[in-house]
Chains A and B, each alone.
Chain A
Amino acid sequence: MIKSLIFSIALLFLISCGKNEKIDTPKTSQLNGAGATFPYPLYSKWFNEYAKLNKDAKINYQSIGSGGGVKQITEGTVDFGASDSPMSTEEIEKANQKNNNSIIHIPTVIGSVVLTYNVPGIAKEIKLTPEAIVGIFMGTIKKWNDPKIAKENTDISLPDKDIIVCYRTDGSGTTYVFADFLGKVSEEWKTKVGVAKDVRFPVGQGGKGNEGVTGLVKQLEYSIGYVELVYAMQNKLQYAYVKNADGEFVKPSLDALSKAAEQSVNEMPDDLRQSITNAKGKESYPISSYTYLLIYEKQKDQYKGKTLKEFLNWALTQGESFASELGYAPLPKVVIEKALQKVNKITVQ
């Protein structure tokens, strides 16, 4: 018995040594990325499709939240990060200093944050004004049949039930985009709650990731949460019309997203960091955002740098065609061109 034990330990050592040798050969290596859950359905599709095209290009992506994406790329523990909210100037400086490199933002698609809800007995989509949304998420509107909600939904009989608010517990770009919108429409939100990836909600229940919040809304009756459109679509949950800056109620759709982005496409700054929430225009959906990949300009690993560049070129051209079926709007042409210029600036050493 003891012999077999010693033997098995020895075997384990051998196996692990054998594994160690593989480290030097770059072929089995792969790219690791982490971050936003907002574009995760699209990214996982991309990486899956791209691996079919190019057998050597395995790109592992873990959706841990935008906050995680920013943190891990700053720590240098991943090869690329992903975030829906662009990194702040301080964050960029910190990352650049720590890794002696410079970080660039590559927008990939446009997504939207929708208010998805689970209220039994309502067949039509409800309409929400920004004031109602602020009220619900600050806890001042407690019931579904509150006059502030009912006013715009006279054709729906809203139940006399408590609203269960669901939000994100992790540092989240979805939260950022949502809070960014609420901060633009409500002074109270801006001062009391703030605009960040991990704001503290005064009421509700927390879920991890877009997946977690969608799961909560699906589980809990009379709940409402904010998630990326695709999560609501794939789970056949209802989502609300939201009143935009021009006073129109708009249903989140690809068209409404593209319209929101087009409003400000000419003001796109050189570093491509731009907020498009609360965009003007009658048809614009107000809670939309670009989502970004965060990449270091100087790539130190030959294989990884090359693969990353090739992938990005593919994603920004052919890859964009996968966007619409998953509920994301493709980037406007001008932005694609700017993004491709950025990609070509990446140097492989």
Chain B
Amino acid sequence: MTGIETISGRPKNLTRRKLVNKIMISLCVVAGIITILPLLYIFFYTTKSGLTSLNLDFFTQLPKPVGEEGGGMANAIVGSLVLIALGSVIGIPVGILAGIYVSEYSGSIISTIVKFTTDVLSGIPSIIIGIFAYGIIVLPMKRFSAIAGGFALGIIMIPTITKITEEMLKLVPQTLREASLALGVSRWKTSLFVVVKTASSGIITGVLLAIARAAGETAPLLFTSFGNSFWQTSIDEPMAALPLQIFAYAISPYDDWHRQAWAGAFVLILLVFVVNLIVRYVTRNKFGTSQ
């Protein structure tokens, strides 16, 4: 009896199911569009406002006194580069070596702990890293400095690099390691010269991603690198940084500063875009569509 009911009730039920199917599928498509809209908006708005404001002065001039038109962010751009370089000195070796350890010695309790802490580290709000750097570098040194800023950025870079290094190393075939070990090469040499070499382009993408992230960080620089309105080449002095300058200009009331802040924002977005493009390109070449 029940069987017949099911069969007789089926066309109605099926229509309903098909309708639900249609609605839900279209909702998913709508969700896709909703997500992409703000991005496109931010992207085009920044590009529009940024491109029209971008000029040679932006890259070559120092900031003008408050309220005067003109000037640029040359010192902030150079400052950001220096800060990133300093961050890299700390972040890249620590990140890569930790990644190698986690991947090559995976399974041990220690490596699980390290892996877990790396994840935790990546979740720590960057402002807290800023407080930390202020406490252990700025206060003892008795001055704000690029070193403190670079240190904070370095810490922020570590988890990204570790994570990607680990993932890239996992993609290296196990047979390669075995072959090397069989030839009598010691384990650390195998890790460093065989495995890492094979995965090097992947690791470099990790480094690039970390750099792109660090380049846009503002919060940890507020009380470490501090900002500077002049050229500054020594790293134990306060240094300007692009995101800091954008922040200061963005909350200011001056239209000309807003214009410059948009130009700065455009440069940052461009950096993110290009880095991601490179990363895509490199990973696709090497590992197909594995990601």
Contact = CB atoms under 8 A, between A and B. Distances in A.
A58 B75 CA distance: 14
B117 interface: no
B227 interface: yes
Contacts of B252: 211-212, 214-215
A230 B64 CA distance: 16
Contacts of B265: none
Interface in B235-284: 235-238, 248, 251-254
Contact of B66 (A23, A45, A217): A45
A17 to B, nearest CB: 10
A122 interface: no
Contact of A30 (B138, B204, B227, B237): B237
Nearest to B141: A77
Given A1-B197, A77-B142, A30 B230 contact: yes
Interface stretch (A7-15, A125-133, A245-253, A268-276): A7-15
Contacts of A53: none
Contact of A208 (B65, B204, B251): B251
B78 interface: no
A75 B139 contact: yes
B234 A29 contact: yes
Interface stretch (B39-47, B88-96, B175-183): B88-96
B228 interface: yes
Given A9-B89, A231-B253, A60 B139 contact: no
A191 interface: no
B230 A16 contact: no
A41 interface: yes
Contacts of A234: 66-67, 253-254
Given A9-B92, A13-B89, A32-B143, A48 B253 contact: no
User: Is chain B's binding surface mostly helix, strand, loop or mixed?
Assistant: loop
Interface in A33-86: 34, 40-41, 44-45, 47-48, 51, 58, 60-62, 75-78
A19 B227 CA distance: 18
A214 B255 CA distance: 12
A20 interface: yes
Contacts of B138: 77
A123 interface: no
A19 B233 contact: yes
B229 A60 contact: yes
Given A1-B204, A215-B253, A48 B64 contact: yes
A235 interface: yes
User: Is chain A's binding surface mostly helix, strand, loop or mixed?
Assistant: helix
Contact of B251 (A16, A48, A212, A235): A212
Contact of B238 (A48, A60, A211): A60
Interface residues of B, number: 43
B162 to A, nearest CB: 15
Contacts of B215: none
A76 B67 CA distance: 30
A218 B251 CA distance: 11
A214 B227 contact: no
Nearest to B226: A62
Contacts of A217: 253
Nearest to A49: B65
A16 B154 CA distance: 14
A315 to B, nearest CB: 14
A2 B196 contact: yes
B234 A211 contact: no
Contacts of B232: 30, 60
Contacts of B197: 1-2
A235 to B, nearest CB: 5
B66 A22 contact: no
A173 interface: no
Contact of B233 (A28, A61, A211): A28
A29 B82 CA distance: 17
A194 interface: no
A230 B232 CA distance: 29
B86 interface: yes
Contact of B89 (A12, A30, A44, A215): A12
B158 interface: no
A62 B238 contact: yes
A77 B233 contact: no
Contacts of B235: 16, 19-20, 23
Contacts of A29: 234, 237
B58 interface: no
Contact of A9 (B65, B93, B143, B253): B93
A140 B20 CA distance: 54
Contacts of B66: 40-41, 44-45, 234
A60 B253 contact: no
A210 to B, nearest CB: 9
B201 to A, nearest CB: 6
B209 interface: no
Contact of A22 (B86, B203, B233): B233
7 contacts: A16-B86, A23-B234, A32-B237, A62-B238, A77-B143, A209-B251, A215-B252
Given A30-B230, A76-B142, 19 more contacts: A1-B200, A2-B196, A5-B200, A5-B207, A16-B85, A16-B86, A22-B234, A32-B144, A32-B226, A34-B226, A47-B65, A48-B65, A60-B232, A60-B238, A76-B143, A78-B143, A208-B251, A212-B251, A217-B253
Interface of A: 1-2, 5, 9, 12-13, 15-16, 19-20, 22-23, 28-30, 32, 34, 40-41, 44-45, 47-48, 51, 58, 60-62, 75-78, 207-209, 211-212, 214-215, 217-218, 230-231, 234-235, 326
